[in-house]
Amino acid sequence: MERDVFFMRRALDLAKKGRGTTSPNPMVGAVVVKDGEIVGEGYHRKAGEPHAEVEALAQAAERARGAELYVNLEPCCHYGRTPPCADTIIRAGVKRVVAAMADPNPLVAGKGIKRLKEAGIEVVVGVLEEEAKKLNEVFIKYIITGKPFVVAKIAQSFDGKIAMASGESRWITGEPARVKAHELRSWYDAIMVGVGTVMADDPLLTCRLPEKRKNPVRIVVDSGARMPPDARMLRCEGGRVILATTERADSERVSALKERGVEVIKVPPAEGRVDLSRLMEILGGMGITSVLVEGGSTLTSSLIKGNLVDKLLVFVAPVVIGGEGIDSVGKLHVDRLSQAPRFKFHSIDAIGGDLLLEAYPDLKREEDSCLPG
């Protein structure tokens, strides 16, 4: 078991190299081991390019015969943009396959494992399974539900403020935290803000790291199409901009934004505003697998209230702003503590002089809250 864990951890490390470039595919790494020695490695670099298993087996060449293959996701068994990996593994003569987890994709879902076993290959599933699931949490959510994985990112003071009363917010966190925030932008398919953030900050919403990274699709939630046609994000070459609005939006303002290249989605309203749940369904149908939400407080609170946040990432700076500041989360309209949304901490990391808190919805707590007493 220790041996399997050692090589699977290497496969997971390789898989991480594809972060931000494989969507809508999962991140996958593969390691070929012969007589205790790694003879081939590979990872999925980009959607449409060879899968990890194919890269690793090509590097191993003839040494793959009689070897073991470690991979963090069940090998595929269907034709997509590339041929089935299961068939490649069988032809290579691998004797044992260790997979961290089964593939939740209905097109695979155990069929790859079955094909390998029918070919006489020993298959082990479940080594470092939880780590593998976390790595591909975006893929798992999207492939099962058809909706994007939603990450709410907040940069706040020690006392939970995202800006001064005047709106000043540059810079609450230090430079290392801001660099990390741009890295996050390169990891997810889209970045989302409310129109209030656009009006107040006029952000670019691009990934501005020295090394070449992709820019996310930029989504502005704007029920009344108040977004200025001369907003900075429309004057830079940062990629797609989507405006999520409603039928009540002024048609002339919508036309002006379309002329600037904005893609306009008219979403059915909920209480006069964009129905965020319906918006997520629409975005999923457009092939957007993940959304990084960067504010402001009204949008964040609406997503939390609607149970639409899959993960919270909160940067906390060691500065106290006080009660005059703007809260990081707006009103949730809960009257009792038992009604307040609960999250579970997963990790706490130091980013320069700030902290990064990672938390997930406490689903067990929600289930328990339905019990008497």
Does residue 338 have a known ligand-binding role? no
Helix, strand or coil for residue 314?
A: strand
Told to judge if 324 belongs to the known catalytic residues of this protein, a careful annotator would answer no
201 is in an annotated binding site: yes
Q: Which amino acid is at 293?
A: V
Coil/strand/helix, residue 290? strand
* CB within 8 Å of 41: residues ≥ 6 apart: 10, 14, 29, 30, 31, 32, 55, 56, 59
In whole angstroms, what is the distance from residue 73 CA to residue 103 CA? 6
Q: Is 183 annotated as a binding residue?
A: no
Q: According to the annotation, is 205 in a ligand binding site?
A: yes
Determine contact, residues 101/135, Cβ cutoff 8 Å: no
Is the preceding peptide bond at 361 cis, omega within 30 degrees of 0?
no
Helix/strand/coil (H/E/C) assignment for every residue in 140-186:
HHHHHHCCCEEEEEEEECCCCEEECCCCCCCCCCCHHHHHHHHHHHH
Please indicate if the annotation marks 278 as binding a ligand.
Answer: no
**260 labelled binding-site residue:** no
197 belongs to an annotated ligand binding site: yes
- At 196, the amino acid letter reads G
Helix (H) or strand (E) holding 41: strand 37-43
Task: Tell me if 206 is assigned to a ligand binding site.
Answer: no
Residues 87 and 68: their CA atoms lie apart, in Å, by 15
**Is 277 marked within a binding site?**
no
Helix (H) and strand (E) counts in the chain:
12, 18
- 181 with 285: CB under 8 angstroms? no
The answer to whether 294 is a known ligand-binding residue is: yes
Q: Annotated binding residue at 301? A: yes
Does 369 count as an annotated binding residue? no
Contact (Cβ atoms closer than 8 angstroms) between residue 173 and residue 354: yes
- Which residue out of 41, 53, 55, 68 is catalytically annotated? 53
Q: Is 328 annotated as a binding residue?
A: no
From the list 4, 310, 313, 309, the residue with the least C-alpha distance to 129 is 4
Q: Is 76 labeled as ligand-binding?
A: yes
Distance CA 94, CA 356 (A): 42
DSSP state at residue 49: S
Q: Is 283 annotated as a binding residue?
A: no
169 is in an annotated binding site: yes
Known binding-site residue numbers for NADP(+)? 155, 169, 171, 197, 201, 223, 296-302
Known binding-site residue numbers for substrate? 185, 205, 208, 294
Known binding-site residue numbers? 51, 76, 85, 155, 169, 171, 185, 197, 201, 205, 208, 223, 294, 296-302
Hey, which residues are catalytic here? 53
